[in-house]
Amino acid sequence: MGMFCSVIKFENLQELKRLCHWGPLIALGVIAICSTVAMIDSVLWYWPLHTTGGSVNFIMLINWTIMILYNYFNAMFVGPGFVPLGWKPENSQDSMYLQYCKVCQAYKAPRSHHCRKCNRCVMKMDHHCPWINNCCGYRNHASFTLFLLLAPLGCIHAACIFTMTMYTQLYNRLSFGWNTVKIDMSAARRDPLPIVPFGLAAFAATLFALGLAIGTTIAVGMLFFIQMKIILRNKTSIESWIEEKAKDRIQYYQLDEVFLFPYDLGSRWKNFKQVFTWSGVPEGDGLEWPIRAGCHQYSLTIEQLKQKADKRVRSVRYKVIEDYSGACCPVNKGIKTFFTSPCTEEPRIRLQKGELILATRGLRYWLYGDKILDDSFIEGVSRIRGWFPRKCVEKFPCDAETHQAPEGEKKNR
């Protein structure tokens, strides 16, 4: 209830402009089509006023729509939570462990990152989602994940209604010949005529809505699975990439150290409660976080500073081993690559075998980085930036002579 009140405050009315974007328009359009057609088809298949089952079916359908829209608008309008402009740690000495954002004129709190779309530093930023036209982060992570859960469940219910409606409406309209099967869409299913006539247009609309429901169930269901994996580890997609680069740095320089992710509390239930609470408000203030034993509040930010100082680790070098056309959801790169395509407005880049790539961040099956178009590696300026499948590249081999740690790392060994 507290999160709902924050939606209707006057100062948040300006957030309504987030609706004027292709992502929310498509998402709300799919919800509207599936819900409307499902309610109409429910009248044809299982009239809600005749039986208890029909009433329960109709009420559940309305309930799915309300809960989906509630969590969707919460994720969009409540937002992820932003680091206050001009923020700095209470202990001035802690600022040495933090990065400074010149745009926000503030230090980046632990787990926060600057979003170029929102133009603010976002608390516990996971990613910028075009479907809600906002970032997914500290405050709206729970609402966003619940939306990813409820949308497939509602679509499964709607798909069942679409299937049963088409079956029951077409059952008495089929006529079989020796070599043909005919459907008479003008034939009445019962006498008296149904409240909503099921003609050719209604059949086409139901079939189209069924396709949307099945596609949404698969696509959004995969996103829910990915989100739950990182929530149970108390990570974000950005932090997973930082951890991967940390392990790469340690292996590259052969350092005698082990990187421990500081925010994994060691229990999936404890990690789960960091996002989901009965009150709907996540734990903490978004600036300080509970940590595991052996780490401290700035363990991850210190690792980020090390990676920022090391040009080699900041961008991991890859060589293209398999051509890629630049398709948004490539069907020839594996089913997992197809269904885990990043939900972002950032472009894909076309790859050809033998090209060099500088990857700056990534997901399990996708990487984001720059394709080098000239001979220079680190200092090159001619680049194309975007996403590409991880299976199309491999880490570029390095000379053994270059495996030397920076001065700061040597002292720590």
DSSP state of 76: I
Say what angle helices 200-232 and 141-171 make with each other, to 10 degrees: 150
CA distance to 159, 160, 214, per residue, from 208 (Å): 11, 14, 10
| Catalytic residue IDs | 129
User: For residues 350 and 330, is the Cβ–Cβ distance under 8 A?
Assistant: no
> What is the helix (H) or strand (E) element at residue 162, kind and residue range?
helix 141-171
> What is the helix (H) or strand (E) element at residue 40, kind and residue range?
helix 22-45
Burial class (CB in 10 A: 0-12, 13-18, 19+), 353: exposed
Residue type present at position 49: L
Closest CA to 36 of 212, 209, 214, 220: 209
Residue type present at position 113: H
Q: Residues for the chain: how many in total? A: 413
Compute the radius of gyration of the chain from its Cα atoms. 26
